[in-house]
Structure 1
Amino acid sequence: MTNPVPPGASDPARDTERPPLTRREAREREAREREARGDDAQDRESRDTRAPGRETRGRSEIDGGPDLEQTFWGSLGGDRETEERAASGARRRPAPQAWSTLDYPTEGRESRPKKEKPKRRWLTATIVTVVILALLGGAGVYVWNAFQPEVRKLLAMNEPNDYTGTGTSPVTITIHDGDNGSDIAATLAKAGVVKTSDAFYALLLHTKPDPVFQPGVYRLKKQMSAKSALSALQDPKNKLQRTLTIPEGDTEAEILPALAKTTGVPLADLQAAAKPADFGLPAQAPNLEGFLFPATYTFDPGVDAKTVVKTLVDRSFQSLDQAGVPADKRYSTVVLASIVQKEAGSVDDMGKVARVFQNRLDQGMPLQSDATVAYGAGVKTVFTTDAQREDAGNPYNTYAHDGLPVGPISNPGDDAIKAALNPTPGPWLYFVTVDLKNGTTVFSETAEQHEQAVQQLQDWCNASAENDAYCQ
């Protein structure tokens, strides 16, 4: 069968069967057309320098496939040939290149300008930021310290200011002499008894009659309602009392051990603190005898020795001032009152006993008090011996020495002080208690009357073993 297409002529059927152009092929065709329009002579020269047979390659000579240059692999091959021509200088004027997605420019990379390294501006920015934060932090601290109470109050506005219930764990608080309601409220809040001082103080203001608080140490509980705390403070059972009653006529040697036992303060500490000069006693006072006032005392836990002693001495000065004793007669009044306190059989007889001693002093007679002899001799007896009464080495021996002894022999109470300051008027120079059980005393103006009264006492002592026990 003859070929309908003459040799050398194009086959229309085959031309129509060519696949559509790729993007790369279209760009290359467009570039060639621009070149053709721009410079035909140069284009011809460029075509002449191409490898022989390059233009006639339309399809594969083996399988009659499409032109290799118009395929994907042909494009790669074409690129390599183009690069070879550029390296050999065969191409005089490079055609504009349009890079496809598979072509990456490799020429001239080394000639690109290098980017300058960024300056370390971050360091300056960091320093500035830190400084600003420090200033803001310092300002915040100042504002918090300045307005903390107000801020806390605002935050706690909606919170209750009082506990409920009767409390939890035990705690002790101290109410000092002179504390007012505000002071007590602050003490309770600080100890954790009430939640706020305002809650307790507001309760006080609305409580009628006004509550009265006694100084001292109280055992309460933490987290008590204001009402429960107030009730507890009004209950004497919650007051920790270390109470001691000192009888009239007791001596310092008896009082200090009793104080030590009650307060828990060591006796040695009390004895060391008992210095007359430290408490305003006259210079001639050999000790605190006579100025440890007999009364009932309550001491707080933890009290110190000097406070204990000062409490008794201050109470003695108070009694002397209330009785109207002049400051320059305090010592002599206390000395006489101490003898009256020991010798009188009853409070009713104190004025007469004081009169007897005062009359003797006025007439220059020795006092002849067995109580002073026994005190100086360190014995506790009603009667003294002849030897004791003759002992002039005893400075308290009023048989051997005229006038008042060198110091008090006991601690007198209010009645004895009043009797010594204002003795009952009368001529008596002698007295003797004839019934030691009930204190009956006989006062005499003469020695003979007094001898008869002394015999009456001896008879009473011999009347029974019971009576004789009082006469030892």
Structure 2
Amino acid sequence: MSGIIDPNHKPRPWREFGARTKSALAVLLSLAILVGGGWFVWDKTSGLIGELQLAPDFEGPGKVEVVVTVPRGAGVTEIGDLLVEENVVRSTAAFLNAVKDHPEAVNIQAGTYRMKTELPASEALEILLDPEAMLRNFVLIPEGLRVSQQFQLISERTEIPVADLEAAAKDKAALGLPDYAPNVEGFLFPNTYEIPEETTAADLLKQMVTQYNDVAAATSLEARADSLGVSPLELLTIASIVEREVNRAEDRPKVARVIFNRLSRDMPLQMDSTVHYAVNDYENTTTTDEQRANKSPYNTYVHKGLPPGPISAPGRSSIEAATSPEAGDWLFFVTVNLDTGETRFADTVEEHNANVALFQQWCQANPGKGC
């Protein structure tokens, strides 16, 4: 995101775009909010073209709960872009329109807010202006953790004992787990959660399961599983592998396709992420021969098919990738640069070996980086 906005910056001059257009097109003036002190200044002129009132906007009501963090120093255009990225508002222009018409926009503060996807821009702005919507005490649970890691993180940041979390996790009915969930592994959705002082282990875990259920419904997980010929648990397991294997959004649907392609050909998945789960060792990205020989049912080098259940808690992007894998004939993939996350996909062993050679070259040039 961009840095602090210069309060002395002047708007760009009006411009004309084409003499033959039926109506004049103008550069729209954008307000900029210096968030953190509750005061705002003019931002640089927006490059949006057309009538602001015609900006695409959601009709509402909102759908899935999300948590959005507005950074200190963000301008109003940057905030609009952030809300679009999180699918809270449909367009930055709609958010600018809402800000333009709201005299209280000066009161937006930096912070973390509980919102929903697909909100009208005016409602999204109202949430940003509502002090009750800002999360004061919260814990951020990142994607890709196994349950034991989630519990450890929660305990460190909330002082809820791990033993209490483990005990609460055993009451599937109280937590609202779906019928296809054998336990909480993979079903405690990664997100930011508010932690009031009176929050219990059961309260927090129920929030996390509820969030999973909302995302599963929004992505039609059960219906998509049926159309893809797998069970809902298997589809979530695929999403959990995708989450651990790659970190770029554009690669996730391709990894999901690789998994489906290998399953359809009765090939072992041979995913290092499942080995990491089996041996509970996440120190390196790669695995050793000894680790790949582990007989755990979660080891997809030793056992064909999917592991018995999720190996991590996947985020929405990985769940969407599993429910809508990209079309392709890929059978192999390898991340060739652990810094950038660049991942190469291949149809044949020969292509894959060439990609593996690139990864090995990167590892030799970058010792000590997890190879």
- TM-score using structure 1 length: 0.47
Instruction: Give the superposed CA RMSD.
Output: 2.5
- Residue 459 of structure 1 is matched in structure 2 by 361
2:204 is equivalent to residue 308 of structure 1? yes
Rg larger for: 1
- 1:261 corresponds in structure 2 to 156
Aligned match for 1:375, one of 277, 290, 308: 277
CA shift digits 1:262-299 (9 cap, x unpaired): 33322211111112633354677553111111111112
- The structure-2 alpha-carbon separation of the partners of 1:353 and 1:234, relative to structure 1 and needing over 3 Å to count, comes to closer
Q: Which runs of 5+ in 1 are unaligned?
A: 1-207, 210-215, 217-232
Q: Distance in 2 between matches of 1:454 and 1:240?
A: 45
Q: Which residue of 1 aligns with 2:336?
A: 434
Whole-Å Cα distance in 2 between the matches of residues 282 and 385 of structure 1? Answer: 36
Q: For 1:117-154, what per-residue CA distance to the aligned partner results, in whole angstroms no more than 9, with x for missing partners?
A: xxxxxxxxxxxxxxxxxxxxxxxxxxxxxxxxxxxxxx
Write the deviation string for residues 177-218 of structure 1: whole angstroms up to 9, x where unpaired: xxxxxxxxxxxxxxxxxxxxxxxxxxxxxxx99xxxxxx9xx
Aligned positions of 1:159-308 closer than 5 A: 235=131, 241-275=136-170, 277-278=172-173, 279-281=175-177, 285=181, 287-308=183-204
Against the structure 1 CA distance between its residues 300 and 398, is the aligned structure 2 distance closer, same or farther, given a 3 Å change threshold? same
Q: Does structure 2 conserve the Cα–Cα contact (< 8 Å) formed by 1:395 and 1:401?
A: yes
Alignment partners' CA distance in 2, 1:264 and 1:455: 46
Q: Deviations over 1:424-469 (max 9, x none)?
A: 0000000000001001111000111111111110110111xxx323
What is the rounded CA distance, in whole Å, between the counterparts of 1:240 and 1:335 in structure 2?
A: 31
Secondary structure in 2 matching 1:312? helix
- Paired with 1:287 and 1:386, the residues of 2 have a C-alpha distance of 30
Asked if the contact 1:240/1:300 (under 8 Å) is kept, the reply is no
CA distance 1:445–1:235, shift in 2 (3 Å): closer
* Superposition pairs of residues 48-59 of structure 1, within 5 angstroms: none
Letter in 2 for 1:311: Q
Amino acid at match of 1:258: L
Q: TM-score by structure 2 length?
A: 0.60
1:20 aligned residue: none
Q: 1:362 aligns with which of 264, 284, 288?
A: 264
Q: CA deviation at 1:470?
A: 2.3
- SS state of the match for residue 427, structure 1? coil
Distance 1:384 1:240, change over 3 A: closer
List runs of 5+ in structure 2 lacking aligned partners.
Answer: 1-102, 105-112, 114-128
CA contact (8 A) 2:137 2:194 kept: yes
Relative contact order, higher structure (CA 8 A, sep 6+): 2
Higher helix share: 1
CA separation in 2, counterparts of 1:339 and 1:408? Answer: 7
CA distance in 1, matches of 2:246, 2:256: 9
3-state DSSP class of the match of 1:356?
Answer: helix
Is contact 2:180-2:232 (8 Å) kept?
no
For residues 271 and 320 of structure 1, what CA distance do their matches in structure 2 show?
24
